[in-house]
Amino acid sequence: MDHDVVVREKMTEKYLLEELSPELRDQFEEHFFDCPDCALDVRAGSEFVTHSKSVLAERAEPVVARAASPGQTPVHRPVHTGWFAWLRPTVAVPVLALLLVVVGYQNLVTYPNLQSALKRAQVLPWASVTVGTWGANGTPLTVPQSKGFLLFVRVPSDGNYAYYMADLYDPAGKLECSVTIPVTAGNDQWPVLVPGKNREAGSYKMTVRGVTAAGESKDLGSASFELQIQK
């Protein structure tokens, strides 16, 4: 996927809003793994969405009506709930202030740190996984909290496939990410960059499917590895 197309079509925003088709999503993920600018946009956008959701998930305190004075006709005022409650100054002002703090922190701290990290040469933690083997592969992989790592995925050549689709599952069995692996003649191992995020330690599993030019898919097997989090 061309970077100019990503910018022009606002692929990053559509990816974060889950508005891309499965095919375009896979192509975009394959692109931003190799594009530092798009990787930075996705990371920053994901953090902003996470903070926004936590703020919007909080429920507003109910408004307590004052009792009417003797002889005074009570005034019934509607209590706004749901999205209309956010229009009240007592709620909107703190929320906007918090969002400004989040945006300011990202602009002054998060973005520069990420940009600096992307420009430095780094040695990433890595593990080798061979699809089709039973049990965990090799020694446990130790990764600092919130950091990414490399997986050298080996897929034994078996069949005529247009590409492979690799899915990574966390210890709870939840799909964490997917990546499209191109088929290259004479090559049976590919480095897969797994983006950094807050992860739980445990046994992770990667499954690989072979996909033909006609779109037919076949399960080629799986491999697991132990992930340890360095705090």
Listed residue (208, 214, 167, 213) closest to 188, CA to CA: 208
The domain in which residue 106 lies consists of: 3-61+80-119
Beta-sheet strands, E only, within 114-216: 126-130, 141-144, 149-154, 163-169, 175-182, 189-194, 202-211
Q: 210, 218, 221: which is closest to 163 by C-alpha?
A: 210
Establish if 55 belongs to a structural domain. yes
Helix (H) or strand (E) holding 223: strand 217-230
Cβ atoms 47, 198 nearer than 8 A: no
Quote the number of domains for the chain.
2
Which structure tokens are listed for 33? 């793994």
Q: How far apart are CA 164 and CA 219, in angstroms?
A: 10
* pLDDT tens series, the chain, 231 aa: 777 777 778 887 788 778 888 888 888 888 777 777 777 777 776 666 665 555 555 544 444 445 555 555 555 555 555 545 545 555 455 555 555 555 554 555 445 555 555 566 777 888 888 887 655 666 789 999 888 899 999 988 767 899 999 999 999 999 999 999 988 888 888 999 998 888 999 999 999 999 998 889 999 999 999 999 987
Q: What is the pLDDT of residue 145?
A: 86
φ, ψ of residue 222 in degrees (nearest 5): -145, 170
Residue 166, domain member (yes or no): yes
Q: Are residues 11 and 30 in the same domain?
A: yes
Task: Give a yes or no: residue 194 inside a domain.
Answer: yes
Evaluate if pTM is beyond 0.85.
no
